[in-house]
Amino acid sequence: MEEEEKKKVLVVEDTKDHAELIKLKLIEQGYQVEVVESGEDALSLPHLSSFYAIVCDFLLPKMNGIEFLIELKKRNVDVPVILMTAHGDEQTVVRAMKEGAYDYIVKEVDFNFLELLPPVIEEARGKYLLTRQNTELTKKLKEKTERLTELTKELKRLSITDPLTNIYNRRFFFEALKLEFNRASRYLQPLALIILDLDDFKKINDTYGHLAGDKILAEVASILVNGVRQGDVVARYGGDEFALLLPATELENGLKVALRLKKKVTEHCFFIKQKELTLTLSAGVVATDDFSAKTAEGLLEEGDKRLLAAKKRGKDQIFPPYKPSS
């Protein structure tokens, strides 16, 4: 049994002689007992939630036993309730259990129910403790499941994210390239690919150190992400190279995007060790409406070739050169 101070039973009974008999039987069995005559009186008790159990008659003045159960639920009073009924009406019992009663007992005219009351209280208390334990376990399981879901999402994010620039990594880029290439082929939509490289970036690393170079790469990544649409893919391709996938984009618009991004990077001021630096970049642009690639790898290979062509033209170039359509 639980500690003595936790075994105080509240009896809600308006018939005084019944209440006295119930009280005497429970005291005989080692319970502390408090008696009130109505549901309203019970609800007014400031220590209502501290009772070991509540034994409540169904027929009460103003508020009956079912209404009392409903009110307890509204007030989040978490105490096992045993409903006493004089007629054993099945509908009343079913309703009582639905509204939160843990058990019921039929008040027989010969008062034999008094012998049954203590074990019924203990059984109800056991059900209550088991229910509460199950609720706590369910809550903990839910919390752990949610945490596991969060960790899974974070692991997935980390697996596709470049840790330095916080944009997509090379692995994700290849998956996205295949997906977008197949989608473009299936729905006969254009797909543009931009591969860009920071010019003379090695000199920055050699002069200012790799930490400075890392800072610049992160800033460039931010410029690129903020310079394209939400559905476009920006990834670190390797070293100081970046790759961009532009779905539903023809070559002309792909070249416009490349030029706009080149301008943004060129005009950006990079502050390294209290010095202001400017950079240029070169880019190769290819699109499915301009180059007939049979595979995603073929499109990527052509993009690499065009980046190399831009470098050979003196850097700070886009290849092919942009020629506005008439």
Q: Interhelix angle for 210-226 vs 201-208, to 10°?
A: 140
**Cα 126 from Cα 277, distance rounded (Å):** 74
Q: What pLDDT, in 10s, does the model give residues 28-69?
A: 999 999 999 999 999 999 999 999 999 999 989 889 999 999
Query: Where in the chain is CATH 3.30.70.270?
Result: 170-319
- Residue 1 pLDDT grade (very low, low, confident, very high; cuts 50, 70, 90): very low
Asked whether residue 259 carries a pLDDT value surpassing 70, the answer given is yes
**Fold (topology level) of 4-136:** Rossmann fold (3.40.50)
- Please calculate the CA angle 98-143-51 and round it to the nearest 5 degrees: 45
Q: Which of 57, 103, 199, 240 is catalytic?
A: 240
CB burial of residue 21 (10 Å; 0-12, 13-18, 19+): middle
Please tell me whether the peptide bond between 320 and the residue prior to it is cis, using omega within 30 degrees of 0.
Answer: yes
Asked whether residue 93 carries a pLDDT value surpassing 90, the answer given is no
- Encoded tokens for 122: 């203990």
- Predicted pLDDT at 126: 94
Q: What pLDDT, in 10s, does the model give residues 218-251?
A: 999 999 999 999 999 999 999 999 999 999 999 9
**Cα 323 from Cα 325, distance rounded (Å):** 6
What is the pTM for the complete model shown? 0.66
Q: Is 240 a catalytic residue?
A: yes
Q: Which residues contact 50 (CB under 8 A, 6 or more apart)?
A: 6, 8
**Cα 178 from Cα 316, distance rounded (Å):** 29
Asked whether residue 282 carries a pLDDT value surpassing 50, the answer given is yes
The CATH classification of domain 170-319, taken from the options 3.40.50.300, 3.30.70.270, 3.40.309.10, 3.90.1150.10: 3.30.70.270
Is-contact 245 176, C-beta < 8 A? yes
- Predicted pLDDT at 226: 97
Query: Where in the chain is CATH 3.40.50.2300?
Result: 4-136
